[in-house]
Structure 1
Amino acid sequence: MSDLSPLSSLSTALAATVATAAPSLVSVHSHRSRATGFVWKPGLIITADEALADEGDIIIAFADGTTRAASIAGRDHTTDIALLRFDGTDVAPMPLMAEVPPLGALAVIAAADQGTPVAALAMVSKSAGPWRSLRGGDIAARIELDTRLRPSSEGGLVLDATGHAIGMAVRGPRRTLVIPTATIERVAGRLETHGRIARGYLGAGLQPVRLDDGLGAMVMSIDKSGPAAAAGLRQGDIITALNKEPFRGMRGLMRELGPYSVGAVVELAALRAGEPVQVALTIGERPA
């Protein structure tokens, strides 16, 4: 009988997988928040935006017990990705692989708690195509894991059965989600270059209203220097359609205001004192 049972072999392989990722993991301490991050490029760390405090100093703790100060290079709340910058190029980045695991595949969450590496075993409970977050971010694949994520592990690496890093673990409503590599590379690349992700801006405060034949959005306020004012939209107007498509809610409208909407012209149908009007509005860039 072999000394190595299948279970023992699996255990050894899992331990080796975590050991490979551990040197790239850090704990991220910001105000009262504790999370995990991983070295993406020399001097740059990826972490979960939702787990990052809005203000205060940021300290990163490494597995060897050392700590360093970090600063925010950029953050995008719609995809839950934040990029931190720290002084040092001596920590090896963890290569990311653009792979989407199949349903039922095993995955390992490798994270850090006060600098000490921690791990959790999970199964891929959902593997589907692209989706859009509630905050309007485009995510390359819908990957869910069947395990609960401890708060300090948010922002940790998700490794597949071959040990490849395939994304970042974040806490979703009642489940653990994976922000896949393709999304991380796209968003972090723009954050590194520009410090932010451009978002579309109408320059109007809107309130959903119910009409006799559907939904509308009433203009409650106008930014006098914004796109809505330039297009001639007025306070009290009720938007009923965008590009000839009926208005179906604020979530659908927010989806039209993604990073690539800036500069696009949308045709708005509206009611003004009960009379139909047409407005051509050029989407601007949301102020920082």
Structure 2
Amino acid sequence: MLDAPLPPTDDPLLDAYSRAVTSAVSRVGPAVVHVAARHEARGGTGSGVVISPDGLVLTNAHVVAGATALEAMAPDGRRFPVRLLGQDRATDIAVLRAEAQGPLPVAELGSSAGLRPGQVAIAIGNPLGFANTVTAGIVSAVGRALPSRGGWPVEDLIQTDAALNPGNSGGALADSAGRVIGIATAVIAGAQGLCFAVAADTARLVLSQVLRFGRVRRAVLGIAVERVPVPRRLARAAGLEEQTFGARIAKLVPNGPAAAAGLREGDVILAIDGLAATGADALLRALHGERVGVPAEILALRGAEVLRVTATPAERETTG
């Protein structure tokens, strides 16, 4: 009896996946540092990502909050002080300046605008003190929102099943090309595979404002939104035939600007003063500091009904 042919294997696919992950790690891993924050009564640790040759580091605001001194350690063992340039608790992003002797490896801060569920996601950080740990999974969803300690929701989060643990906060979430697509921020305790990172485009927005103004001044409507597809017939009815996504209100702050304007949870915002609102990231860009106190026309959908309401954005007090 002739031997049966061997079944096909997954080796080529696995090898390609392994090559993609290892290549991404070799690009990003050297730029992920361990961040130690000293407080009066205790210490805390997290991760950070070096994103410029002059030592700019992105991390989480909650990693550095209240710290009396900050120190970082690179994967090559070098230790050096870091200085807080600014933080934005509303997005949980902080910007640091590394005061290292000699150049540091740099990671490329990519774009999160085109992310799709199912893409490879690679997390690199220092979970539970284990330096430069790598986990991998996929982008599970984009445009998520979570409540923050200050009450305002943290928006434009990437959901991933790449394992994150305490100490990963502020570390890199990278794509298979070795670009940083997010800054790791949160895990839901007790859940399996529910981890979150601040989208790279939001981190870049915070970075630019901190470098320019030293802080982030942002207008808010008092809502948390999720990116949802908009049926073509409804977009056409609203006069926006080319728009395929909108920002659905998932949570509404009582007595906030949106609530005062008559908007409700479930309404889908399509535009603010003519600027397309295709998700949380678009809203964050539209609601810049100059809009505080200035009435804005909001185009939205409630079911099949087209709404036009006027809301006056407030200033988000949790930034700083």
Confirm or deny that 1:13 pairs with 2:20.
yes
After superposition, the Cα gap between the structure-2 partners of 1:264 and 1:285, relative to the gap in structure 1 and judged at 3 Å, is farther
Q: Deviations over 1:84-131 (max 9, x none)?
A: 112246113211121432112221112236583211011221134x86
Which residue of 199, 202, 210 maps to 1:183? 202
Deviates more, 1:130-139 or 1:16-25: 130-139
In 2, the alpha carbon distance for the partners of 1:8 and 1:258 equals 45
- Taking structure 2 as the reference length, the TM-score comes to 0.60
Secondary structure of the structure 2 residue equivalent to 1:154:
coil
CA deviation after TM superposition for structure 1 residue 78, in Å:
0.4
Which residue of 121, 142, 153 maps to 1:107? 121
Q: Which amino acid aligns with 1:98?
A: S
Q: What residue in structure 2 maps to residue 153 of structure 1?
A: 168
Q: Which amino acid aligns with 1:38?
A: V
Secondary structure of the structure 2 residue equivalent to 1:162:
coil
In 2, the alpha carbon distance for the partners of 1:283 and 1:159 equals 34
- Taking structure 1 as the reference length, the TM-score comes to 0.66
Which residue of 247, 259, 284 maps to 2:289? 259
In 1, the alpha carbon distance for the partners of 2:214 and 2:256 equals 35
Which residue of 59, 68, 72 maps to 2:84? 72
CA deviation after TM superposition for structure 1 residue 56, in Å:
1.6
Secondary structure of the structure 2 residue equivalent to 1:7:
helix
Deviates more, 1:20-29 or 1:146-155: 146-155
In 1, the alpha carbon distance for the partners of 2:291 and 2:57 equals 28
CA deviation after TM superposition for structure 1 residue 137, in Å:
6.3
In 1, the alpha carbon distance for the partners of 2:208 and 2:37 equals 23
Secondary structure of the structure 2 residue equivalent to 1:153:
coil
Pairs within 5 Å for 1:124-203: 124-128=139-143, 134=148, 135-136=151-152, 139=155, 141-174=156-189, 175-199=194-218
* 1:62/1:116 contact within 8 Å kept: no
* 1:59/1:68 contact within 8 Å kept: yes
C-alpha RMSD over aligned residues: 3.9
Which residue of 24, 30, 37 maps to 2:48? 37
Residue-pair matches, total: 233
After superposition, the Cα gap between the structure-2 partners of 1:242 and 1:76, relative to the gap in structure 1 and judged at 3 Å, is closer
Q: Which amino acid aligns with 1:143?
A: I
CA deviation after TM superposition for structure 1 residue 264, in Å:
2.6
* 1:137/1:258 contact within 8 Å kept: no
Q: Deviations over 1:7-54 (max 9, x none)?
A: 234223312211111221100000221111011222211001122241
CA deviation after TM superposition for structure 1 residue 61, in Å:
0.5
Task: Determine which structure has more spread, i.e. the larger CA radius of gyration.
Answer: 1
Q: What residue in structure 2 maps to residue 47 of structure 1?
A: 59
Percent identical among aligned pairs is 21
